Copies of this chain bind each other. A is one copy, B any other.
Amino acid sequence: MIDLSAGAAHPAQSFGAEVICVGTELLLGEILNSNAQFLAQELAALGIPHYYQTVVGDNVRRLQAAIAIACERSRLLIFTGGLGPTPDDLTTEAIADFFQAPLVERPEVLDDITQKYAARGRVMTDNNRKQALLPQGAAVLANRTGTAPGMIWEARPGLIILTFPGVPSEMQAMWREVAVPFLRSRGFGQAPIYSRTLRFWGITESALAEKVAPLFDLTHPTVAPYAGKGEVRLRVSAKAESEAAAMAAIAPVVEQIQQIAGADYYGQDDDTLASVVGQRLQRAGQTLSIAESCTGGGLGSFLTTVPGSSRYFWGGVVSYDNSVKESLLGVNPDDLANSGAVSATVAEQMAQGVRSRLGTTWGLSITGIAGPDGGSTDKPVGLVYIGLAGPKNQVTSHRFLFGASRGREWIRWLSVCSALDLLRRQLQEP
């Protein structure tokens, strides 16, 4: 075992959390370590100091070497990965062996796994039995959704170990439902950081940064920009004893930013363009149908990420082939032949066609060239027309040129968001 005389360099009062992600697939670069980011954000939000992250492969010796280092410099070790049923999954065994604790089978875990398999009409294999083994003294950190439970264990006095499966959705649910209340109950995180994330569409990061530049010098709250998937975000954060105290500092700055940004600001925190459009439609008692070409269904898919979207979203047509634009949307074949499928007139006819056929308040359409092939000098990859037909039979179209360099999926995503943003700007704010 490695002898680390790190105590001197790390006085106990500064000990924080360490995230240890286990998985050879991380060291081969096969997956992006989004779990580390999620846990980092959560630790910051809880006000738990977090000084180190370690990634190590599915190898007992190296994992135990990492544990030896971590338990001398941190007092909360958070493991992700390596809890599955295969021989490669060895996080629990490695931890138990390191602290010389015997593994004990937990009947309640075995029952839970058995039931989950049965509910899915499957038979549990012998491999799964090992997922019910936890070190003596550890509490089960239940996994509501998957079969691999984690654990909460005070492996040594003052050293807390949490383990989570590597599947992000399972890990996140377990973190929120079990780990956060546990950590709070144990007095971790005395001065949490609270924050609001403000979301913008239709403005670049540098243009927004220039507009709000003086706010970047604030210290309480702080304002920091970051780029999302095609959108810009600002995070306004304050460290405070209570959420109310933090929000009292944050609210005036949020308001100031909203005024500066105007209509480019669309929402905050968990808002999406789809949820914001949905709220506005629902409030107005209006309905929406869509006609998509290059996005192939992406607009409808995004709209229906919102639970309850059936109250305002009725459906639409994926008119990938021109014949469908004619048959289901009534686009004029001559216009298709003369102007081409990617044109203002076809976008408008698609929006009108779906609106009138489905009988909705609005009809929203997308037609474009997502590439990588199919572009020309006149109509390059990244050219997209969005059509919007409205309640007074008015119809408009808008031309976008997204640029081919970032690829097909980027163009499709920007098309979907730009379509929703166009409609958002037509709908009254709540």
Contacts and interface: CB of A to CB of B under 8 A. Distances in A.
Contacts of A313: 296, 320-321
Interface stretch (A90-98, A199-207, A256-264): A199-207
A251 to B, nearest CB: 20
Given A127-B206, A318-B300, A409-B305, A29 B37 contact: yes
Q: Kindly name the residue among A43, A146, A296 whose own CB sees the greatest number of chain B CB atoms within 10 A.
A: A296
A209 B86 contact: yes
A231 B109 CA distance: 24
A373 B321 CA distance: 35
By secondary structure, the A interface counts as mixed
A120 interface: yes
Given A32-B32, A57-B51, A226-B30, A317 B318 contact: yes
Interface residues of A, number: 127
Contacts of A407: 145, 169
Given A29-B42, A87-B216, A301-B296, A317 B320 contact: no
Contact of A32 (B37, B73, B87, B412): B37
Contacts of A425: none
A244 interface: no
A23 B224 CA distance: 11
Contacts of A235: 25, 30
A282 interface: no
A30 B43 CA distance: 12
Contact of A318 (B26, B205, B316, B359): B316
Contacts of A51: 27, 56-57, 59, 62
Interface stretch (A1-9, A100-108, A332-340, A383-391): A1-9
A163 to B, nearest CB: 17
Contacts of A23: 226
A41 interface: yes
15 contacts: A27-B51, A28-B41, A29-B36, A52-B54, A52-B55, A52-B66, A54-B55, A86-B209, A127-B210, A290-B297, A297-B301, A304-B320, A304-B412, A321-B358, A324-B358
Given A24-B224, A86-B209, A296-B309, 14 more contacts: A3-B3, A27-B53, A28-B40, A52-B66, A53-B53, A84-B227, A88-B216, A119-B403, A122-B204, A289-B324, A294-B304, A300-B320, A305-B409, A318-B318
